[in-house]
Amino acid sequence: MPDVVIAAEPWATAQPECRALQAAHFAEVEGPLAKLRPYRLNEALMQRAADAGMLHAIVARVDGVFAGYLTWTISDDPESMGMLKAEQGALYVDPAYARHRLMDRMVAFSTPYLRARGVQCLFMHHRLLGRGARLGLWFRRRLRAIEIKHEYFVWIGEQPRG
């Protein structure tokens, strides 16, 4: 049996190992929009969010190898004063490790981790391209999540050249 470890890690510790997976993740879920929105992670912004206690990284390692990540942003809910919420950010598992159910394990780890920090509700999402296209069904069945919105991308910038 492989040694699977799910843990919260500081962003600064996780980020260097995460870079290759982040680029693969973006390519999988962004599809044709990548021409308009090229991948260039703002690491300084992410680090500032982590330093402020807002950004939390849940990391999956298999036999010591960085195999997946789930990020959460914790903040006050502006529409419900006094409530702390966590918004799911990036959720990705290296396809080579999919059989280890790392997504399930990272989400299961997150619930008590976030609850211990005072979080009362989670806002989760999924993209419509790549392996995450069917995550809504998983959210509803496994987490008893309630679908609350659809989100749309509108490009208003200049058309890219080329």
CB 74 within 8 A of CB 119: yes
Quick one: pLDDT at residue 138? 92
CB 93 within 8 A of CB 126: no
pTM listed for this prediction = 0.91
DSSP per residue over 44-71, as a string? HHHHHHHHTT-EEEEEEEETTEEEEEEE
Q: Domains along the chain?
A: 4-143 (3.40.630.30)
Cα 120 from Cα 134, distance rounded (Å): 25
The three-point CA angle 80-133-114 to 5° equals: 35
Identify the helix (H) or strand (E) that includes residue 113: helix 102-115
Q: What is the pLDDT of residues 109-153, one digit of tens each?
A: 999 999 999 999 999 999 888 888 889 999 999 999 999 998 998
Q: What is the pLDDT of residues 103-116, one digit of tens each?
A: 999 999 999 999 99
Query: How far does CA 12 lie from the centroid of its chain?
Result: 16
Q: What is the pLDDT of residues 2-50, one digit of tens each?
A: 999 999 999 999 999 889 899 899 988 888 888 888 899 999 999 999 9
**Residue 162 in this model has a pLDDT that exceeds 70:** no
